[in-house]
Amino acid sequence: MGTSSNATVGTVRSATAMVRASNFNARNLTFKNSYVEGTFADNNQSAVALAVRGDKAILENVSVIGNQDTLYLGATNNTTVIRAYFKNSFIQGDTDFIFGAGTAVFHGCTIQYTAARLGARATSYVFAPSTAPDNPHGFLAINSTFNATGNASNNSTHLGRAWDQGVSGTSAYINGSSPNGQVVIRDSSLGAHIRLADPWGPSTAGRPYCSSKCAYSANRFFEYNNTGAGSGN
């Protein structure tokens, strides 16, 4: 994200609100980043609404609203895994809008893709986890609803892709050492905007989606007992 002086603050520091303390609790609040991407540079900019960097955060009946990179979940260092629990909350964005290396549960949440900025036919991603390879728990969405607004096209949005954080390309990816994002979506309703044939896209470093016998670490993306037009069940 740029500034009027052409300085760069970076993705995480673009956050409207940043939580560093452990045991943070929030209820009935809205976290919103209304920055208009492209104001100081191109349209491919991060504008985080909420960055959770402390452990054991609990958020209930909150709204987290942005476009690209809306909700960041990750510690302030590379060795700690933070945990967060979202209940009956609303999260909106358009590109990689729930991302990071943390462990998080989204229980009874509405996760909404908005096509207002990118246009109805844009291809985009909901989750972008950078889970450490030795951490079996990334993001879990359960009893939640995935829907869309802004005239989003059917079959336009991937449920997610792995964020190979710090990896410049496939030649730099190291199996068992580089991040390997993990997501489980279960018992949830998936709208028609979700890509039915290929719900999970290639990683940010270019690793193709692969679940077994892969050249790179197998993707850890799972769906179970979901319903709706975007569900593979």
Secondary structure (3-state) at 213: coil
d(CA 112, CA 109): 10
Catalytic residue among 42, 55, 69, 96: 96
DSSP string for residues in 30-75: EEE----TTSSS-S-----SEEE-SSSEEEES-EEE-SBT-EEE--
Tokens of 66: 């942005």
Amino acid at 46: S
Pairing relationship of beta strands 57-60 and 189-190 according to DSSP bridges: unpaired
Q: Cα(95)–Cα(213) distance, rounded to whole angstroms?
A: 29
Encoded amino acid at 147, one letter: N
C-alpha–C-alpha distance, residues 207 and 216, integer Å: 7
Active site residue 94: no
Q: Which residues belong to the active site?
A: 96
